[in-house]
C-alpha cells in the first residue's frame, strides 16, 4: 500500500473531504538549491490534492488521517497504460512492414501508418480495460486510520545509555 497523511477538511455523514500536500520528487535532497528540478519545484509552490472519500471512522475537520492506494493495482495500471500502446505499435508496424512493404511493395510510410494505428488501438484497449468497474474499485483511495496526534512521525525515540 502507498500511504500518505491527509487532513480532514469537511465531514458530511460518511463522506469526508481530505486534502494532502502534493510532494515534489525533488524538494528534499541537499542539492535542492543548485538543482534545476529543485528550483522548478520551489517556484511552483505548494499544491494540494483534494479527495472526497467514504469512511465509517468518526472524524472531524482538522483530524489527520492516513490514506492509502494499493501499490500492486497502481503498478499494473501503469504497466498497461504504457505497454499496451507500445506493444500495439510494434506488432502492427511489424505486420505492416511484412504485408505492405515486403508483399505488395508499397512505401514504408504505409507500414508506419499501420504502426501508428496499432499504437492507437493499444491505447484504446488499455482505456477499455481501465474503465472496467472492478478496476476502478481496486484503485480507489481508502482511509486506513486516524493519526494519533501525540505520536509525531518525525520524532524517532533514541535510547541513550551511559
- Residue 84 is predicted with a pLDDT of 95
- pLDDT tens, position by position, 51-76: 888 888 888 888 888 888 888 888 88
- pLDDT tens, position by position, 89-120: 999 999 888 887 677 777 778 888 899 999 99
Per the CB < 8 A criterion, the answer to whether 161 and 91 are in contact is: no
Q: How far apart are CA 129 and CA 14, in angstroms?
A: 30
Q: What b/e sequence results for 99-136 when a residue is b if at least 16 CB atoms lie within 10 Å of its CB, and e otherwise?
A: ebbeeeeeeeeebbebbeebbebbbeebeeeeeeeeee
- Cell 499504437 belongs to which residue? 119
- pLDDT tens, position by position, 119-131: 999 999 999 998 9
- Cell 520528487 belongs to which residue? 25
Q: How far apart are CA 117 and CA 123, in angstroms?
A: 10
Hey, what CATH topology would domain 2-31+39-69+140-146 get?
A: OB fold (Dihydrolipoamide Acetyltransferase, E2P) (2.40.50)
Task: Say yes or no to pLDDT of 136 above 70.
Answer: yes
Its pTM surpasses 0.85: no
Q: Kindly list the domain boundaries of the chain, sorted by start residue.
A: 2-31+39-69+140-146, 72-138
**DSSP 3-state assignment of 60?**
coil
Q: Which residues pair with 51 in a beta bridge?
A: 18
Amino acid at each position: 500500500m502507498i500511504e500518505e497523511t491527509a487532513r480532514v477538511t469537511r465531514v458530511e455523514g460518511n463522506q469526508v473531504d481530505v486534502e494532502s500536500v502534493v510532494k515534489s520528487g525533488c524538494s528534499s535532497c541537499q542539492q535542492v538549491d543548485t538543482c534545476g528540478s529543485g528550483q522548478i519545484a520551489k517556484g511552483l509552490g505548494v499544491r494540494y490534492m483534494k479527495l472526497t472519500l467514504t469512511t465509517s471512522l468518526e472524524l472531524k475537520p482538522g483530524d489527520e488521517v492516513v490514506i492509502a492506494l494499493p501499490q500492486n493495482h497502481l503498478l499494473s495500471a501503469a504497466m498497461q497504460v504504457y505497454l499496451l500502446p507500445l506493444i500495439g505499435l510494434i506488432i502492427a508496424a511489424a505486420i505492416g512492414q511484412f504485408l505492405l512493404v515486403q508483399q505488395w511493395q508499397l512505401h514504408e510510410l504505409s507500414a508506419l501508418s499501420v504502426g501508428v494505428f496499432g499504437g492507437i488501438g493499444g491505447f484504446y484497449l488499455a482505456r477499455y480495460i481501465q474503465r472496467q468497474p472492478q478496476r476502478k474499485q481496486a484503485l480507489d483511495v481508502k482511509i486506513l486510520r486516524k493519526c494519533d496526534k501525540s505520536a509525531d512521525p518525525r520524532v524517532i525515540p533514541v535510547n541513550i545509555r551511559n
